[in-house]
């Protein structure tokens, strides 16, 4: 649907990022990485929710030592998130993680940077450079009047890229996340014009779900809608499973993935006679596991109702006391309010059985 920026393709385990590959959804474990059982359990929950790449922090030697065993017990690619300590990065590469997230600029010593790059090359794993507004290099901040700016974030990312390119390492992904949505959008616009490395998109520290879900949807959505971004992560103070569900819905809303059921339901107004909210919530609860593309419209009145119901695979257009059930644009039934949910569920089951082919 959208024009998408052409980026270099990299591979994180079996998952491709960039170069036109489907946009993937990532998350991060919130357990102590050294607690192997808890971390593996959380990764399995994330996998089940649709997470395609998972990242774990490696803040200490115990975490670095746990990676090999975690890797054995999970099915999706694992990214080791490392700050400052280059030996953990080398340990992670040797544990055969699928990507490192480390900023060479933070390692400092050129010999140490080279050792990390050599380990990444030896095991054929990419490196993500991840610049965050909260940890922007002090020198760059000073250059930009002491403040974090989109230009400063991009400059920092490109400085890190140069350190890797100097060592002939180009298996790179980049993220530049700020807590400010406009600053993040601006930073991604700038960097997407300056290099062709695939971009990992997110709004950092978006907050508790109540706030962070909207902030992430606005920011990540706005960037993707401009054709920028190859993989996404929603950052919420909360259960990482929710990060994955929100990430997947952002992609679905932008029609960048088409899997699963889409329920359209009207906001209701003074024209509505049926309980649209209750009907929509019941149908949503009973159909949320459907992976097949299917569009269901639940509409309250005669203004937009018949039009939307007819454009959907299955539709309900409410009227006074009765409603009409539509199947691929044709009215198939007139039902009383009490029967509406069941009639919709019957039609959905029928649609799934027949693959949408009307055969009677």
Q: With H, G, I as helix, E, B as strand and everything else as coil, classify residue 356.
A: coil
| Binding track over 341-360 against its own copies, x by CB under 8 A | --------------------
70 neighbors 96 (Cβ within 8 angstroms): no
51 marked among binding-site residues: no
Identify which of residues 119 and 183 has a Cβ nearer to its own copies in the complex: 183
- Considering the complex, state which of residue 24 and residue 235 has its C-beta at the smaller distance from its own copies: 235
Backbone phi and psi for residue 56, each to the nearest 5 degrees, phi listed first: -130, 140
The span from the CA of 344 to the CA of 51, in Å, is: 30
DSSP state of 189: H
CB 165 within 8 A of CB 197: no
Residue 168 beta carbon to its own copies: minimum distance, rounded to whole angstroms: 28
328 binds its own copies (CB under 8 A): no
Q: State how far the Cα of 194 lies from the Cα of 7, in Å rounded to an integer.
A: 11
Q: Does 294 bind its own copies (CB under 8 A)?
A: no
d(CA 116, CA 131): 18
Candidate residues 305, 318, 335, 347; the one interacting with its own copies per rule CB under 8 A: 305
3-state secondary structure at position 28: strand
269 annotated as belonging to a binding site for a ligand: yes
Under the binding rule (CB under 8 A), the answer on residue 49 touching its own copies is: no
The reply to whether 195 sits in an annotated binding site is no
Q: How many residues bind its own copies (CB under 8 A)?
A: 87
Q: Is 86 in the site for its own copies (CB under 8 A)?
A: no
Applying CB under 8 A, does 277 fall inside the site for its own copies? Answer: yes
Rounded to whole angstroms, how far apart are CA atoms 255 and 178? 25
Stretch that binds its own copies, among 114-122, 134-142, 161-169, 348-356 (CB under 8 A): 134-142
The total of other beta-carbon atoms located within 10 Å of residue 108's CB is 11
Instruction: Give me the phi and psi of 24, to 5 degrees please.
Output: -100, 160
- Give the strand pairing for 322-327 and 314-318: antiparallel
Among 5, 7, 26, 29, binds its own copies (CB under 8 A): 29
Among residues 240, 274, 318, 347, which is the contact residue for its own copies, using CB under 8 A?
A: 240
- Taking CB under 8 A as the rule, does residue 337 contact its own copies? no
- Residue 181 or 332: the one with the smaller Cβ distance to its own copies is 181
CB under 8 A: which stretch of 15-23, 89-97, 263-271, 347-355 binds its own copies? 263-271
Closest CA to 243 of 205, 281, 188, 269: 205
User: Among the candidate windows 15-23, 108-116, 191-199, 240-248, which touches its own copies by CB under 8 A?
Assistant: 240-248
The reply to whether 81 sits near its own copies by the rule CB under 8 A is: yes
Angle between helices 61-73 and 36-49 (to 10 degrees): 50
User: Site for its own copies (CB under 8 A): which residue of 20, 108, 110, 182?
Assistant: 182
222 touches its own copies by CB under 8 A: yes
Which positions make up the binding site?
266, 269, 301, 308
């Amino acid at each position: 649907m959208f024009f998408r920026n052409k980026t270099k393709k990299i591979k994180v385990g079996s998952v491709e990022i960039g170069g036109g590959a489907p946009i993937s959804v990532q998350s991060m474990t919130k357990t102590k990485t050294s607690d192997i059982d808890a971390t593996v359990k959380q990764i399995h929950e994330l996998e089940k929710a649709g997470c395609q790449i998972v990242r774990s922090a490696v803040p200490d030697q115990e975490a670095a030592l746990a990676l090999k065993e975690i890797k054995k017990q999970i099915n999706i690619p694992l990214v080791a998130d490392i700050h400052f300590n280059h030996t953990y990065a080398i340990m992670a590469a040797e544990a055969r993680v699928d990507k490192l997230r480390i900023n060479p600029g933070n390692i400092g010593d050129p010999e140490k940077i080279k050792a990390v790059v050599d380990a990444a090359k030896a095991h054929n794993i990419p490196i993500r450079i991840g610049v965050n507004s909260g940890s922007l290099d002090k020198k760059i901040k000073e250059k930009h009047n002491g403040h974090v700016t989109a230009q400063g974030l991009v400059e920092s990312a490109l400085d890190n890229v140069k350190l890797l390119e100097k060592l002939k390492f180009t298996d790179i992904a980049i993220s530049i996340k700020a807590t400010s949505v406009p600053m993040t959008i601006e930073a991604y616009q700038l960097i997407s014009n300056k290099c062709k490395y695939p971009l990992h998109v997110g709004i950092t520290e978006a907050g508790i779900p109540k706030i962070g879900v909207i902030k992430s949807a606005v920011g990540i959505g706005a960037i993707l809608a401009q054709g920028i971004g190859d993989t996404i992560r929603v950052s919420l103070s909360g259960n990482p499973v929710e990060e994955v569900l929100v990430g997947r819905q952002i992609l679905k809303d932008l029609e960048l993935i088409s899997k699963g059921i889409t329920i359209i339901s009207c906001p209701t107004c003074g024209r509505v006679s049926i309980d649209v909210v209750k009907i929509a919530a019941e149908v949503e609860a009973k159909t949320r596991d459907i992976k097949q593309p299917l569009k269901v419209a639940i509409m309250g009145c005669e203004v937009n109702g018949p039009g939307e119901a007819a454009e959907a695979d299955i539709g309900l257009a409410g009227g006074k006391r009765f409603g009409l059930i539509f199947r691929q644009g044709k009215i198939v039934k007139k039902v009383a309010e009490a029967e509406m949910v069941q009639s919709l569920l019957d039609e959905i089951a029928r649609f799934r059985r027949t693959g949408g082919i009307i055969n009677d």
